[in-house]
Structure 1
Amino acid sequence: MPRAILPAFVLFFLLSVMSAGSEPEKPSGTPPAQQPIERLLPSPVLRVGMPRQELEEVIRSSYPNWERSEKKRVLNNRKDMSLSPEARSAYLQTISIYREDKEQNLILRYRFALTSPLTESYVYSIVYRVEANTSNLISIDDWANGLHSRWGDEHGGTRSDAKARATYFFDAEWRVVENAGNKCAPIYPAFYRLDEKTIGEVAAVSSLLDATGCTFSRDSILKIKEGAVVQSTFYTVDFRLQVNDVLKRVAFGLQ
């Protein structure tokens, strides 16, 4: 597949927090186990599209000793609108869990973004961060080869002495999108502050997803210090879940 590099200003939007249920994630071409990249990927028991209740059960059973924090968001976040009191109420939008692994000298963090109760609270974004206190997390070659063995050439990316990044896009069946670097690029500026936009603007973003077929993304970002990878952040996002939710949120409680 030709490699298409996304413009830097477009990739910026991937890091913005984007605000039912999609089909369960379908892994594609799972490579042999125990590759170095695996320690930087989220657990397979955690997936976008899982309902909040299932997420809570997984956290209780698999991460019982991790510290937890939460953030809420206003149900209808549009500005300068006449809204009902219900529309101004807050819902649980983000669950974060954290653990310091002293044996491996690692700090591990998960952040899960949820749709609102209007679409039954599904996970639409998972961010997994691994930070090393004393050691190199992975070599750049192992990182690049590990990602390539799963999903081929990245659709966008950067390489520098301080940072490495690779981005992939997938359709609704978790198939890699052809020519996604160009096709999916308009999604990111369209998603910026999405829940403050009008109903028509959000509907246009929904149509954009239909036209491009870009439903999911994965984004791996490494922080490099003095030649060593000291931090890895891996993003998994379900664009369709987010848009479906925001369409209901921006219309809810209008007066």
Structure 2
Amino acid sequence: MRRLIALAVTAAVLFPRAGLPAVSASKGPDTEVAQSVADLTPNSAFRLGMPIEDLEAVFAQHFSDWDRANRMAKLNRRNDLRLPGPANAKYLHRIEISKFDEERGILRSYSLLLTSPLSGSRLYQVGYAVKAFRPTSDTLGSFKMVSADLFRMWGAHHDLLSTTQRPSLIFYFDRAGKVIDDGATRCRMSFFDQINLDLKSPAAVTNVLATLEGTGCVGSKTLNFRLAGDGNTIVESGFYNIDFEGNARDMLKRVGFGQP
């Protein structure tokens, strides 16, 4: 589970399941994603909860000429007990794709995390990073414009992890794909409960699931930025759409798999 948080942390300082909006969740159902934000968000074909078969179809249709790397993980990573051989079997956990736009000097990359085969190998996190090698205000836009558009879409951010040139904005969402108004106070632990979830006991993961169900904070969208020296021009961005609940349900199966 460290990989889930590490993705967000790496690009900064430091969701909803299938059928819910993948990118355009908002405070109101008719609110569209502002263009300045849309340029920094993933392709809408990547839907949280989609099975690996549908994901492969998206690759074939839209990303066949992108570089690709597959990353594996053990079904059960717990180190507090001895596990039989099948529990140590590896599965496809992460798919990374990237492409460099030479004309614009922009590198685009995705990091897509899957649940285990125990839960049908479904997408539970979409990470999308964009890096400009010749940044101007017209390349990836300005932080002031993007943050203003985010406010119009989703209201005030719930958490801010920030330095002057590396701001990171976090928004929490419910099962309907709507922003949780009091997410700043209600949902913070939902984010941090995900850390090292794959090393915890089934009882601990069950408690995390109970918290998610009780608060309704089942997902988050995080935008991380690296800014130029002017503190406004975006040099690099990272967008992370995470399904806490889908991941935790799979994790409960993984941490108990092969347990005596």
Common fold, TM-score beyond 0.5?
A: yes
Q: CA deviation at 1:148?
A: 1.7
Q: CA deviation at 1:14?
A: 7.8
Indicate how the Cα distance of structure 1 residues 40 and 176 shifts in structure 2: closer, same or farther if over 3 A, else same. Answer: same
Corresponding residue to 1:235 among 235, 240, 259? 240
Contact 1:30 1:150 in 2 (8 A): no
Residue 211 (structure 1) aligned with residue 214 (structure 2):
yes
Indicate how the Cα distance of structure 1 residues 141 and 114 shifts in structure 2: closer, same or farther if over 3 A, else same. Answer: same
Indicate how the Cα distance of structure 1 residues 201 and 158 shifts in structure 2: closer, same or farther if over 3 A, else same. Answer: closer
Q: CA deviation at 1:184?
A: 0.7
* CA distance in 2 between partners of 1:212 and 1:35 (Å): 32
Q: Among the aligned pairs, what percent are the same residue? A: 29
Contact 1:14 1:188 in 2 (8 A): no
What is the DSSP-based 3-state SS (H/G/I as helix, E as strand, rest coil) of the residue aligned with 1:191?
A: coil
One-letter amino acid matched to 1:247? L
Contact 2:92 2:114 in 1 (8 A): yes
Contact 2:7 2:127 in 1 (8 A): no
Kindly report the root-mean-square deviation, in angstroms, between the aligned alpha carbons of the 2 structures: 2.0
Residue 202 (structure 1) aligned with residue 191 (structure 2):
no
Contact 2:33 2:153 in 1 (8 A): no
Q: Deviating runs (4+, > 6 A) in structure 1?
A: none
Q: CA deviation at 1:222?
A: 0.6
Number of the residue aligned with 2:100: 100
Q: CA deviation at 1:116?
A: 0.1
Residue 22 (structure 1) aligned with residue 17 (structure 2):
yes
Number of the residue aligned with 2:45: 45
Contact 1:13 1:188 in 2 (8 A): no
Contact 2:166 2:225 in 1 (8 A): yes
Q: CA deviation at 1:32?
A: 5.4
Provide TM-score, normalisation by structure 2: 0.87
Indicate how the Cα distance of structure 1 residues 80 and 164 shifts in structure 2: closer, same or farther if over 3 A, else same. Answer: closer
* CA distance in 2 between partners of 1:112 and 1:13 (Å): 13
* CA distance in 1 between partners of 2:149 and 2:221 (Å): 14
One-letter amino acid matched to 1:220? L
Number of the residue aligned with 2:66: 66
* CA distance in 1 between partners of 2:96 and 2:141 (Å): 24
* CA distance in 2 between partners of 1:81 and 1:138 (Å): 50
Q: How does 1:154-193 map to 2 (within 5 A)?
A: 154-193=157-196
Contact 1:177 1:214 in 2 (8 A): yes
Provide TM-score, normalisation by structure 1: 0.88
What stretches of structure 2 of length at least 5 have no aligned partner? 11-15
Equivalences, count = 241
What is the DSSP-based 3-state SS (H/G/I as helix, E as strand, rest coil) of the residue aligned with 1:87?
A: helix
Contact 2:18 2:48 in 1 (8 A): no
* CA distance in 2 between partners of 1:97 and 1:36 (Å): 23
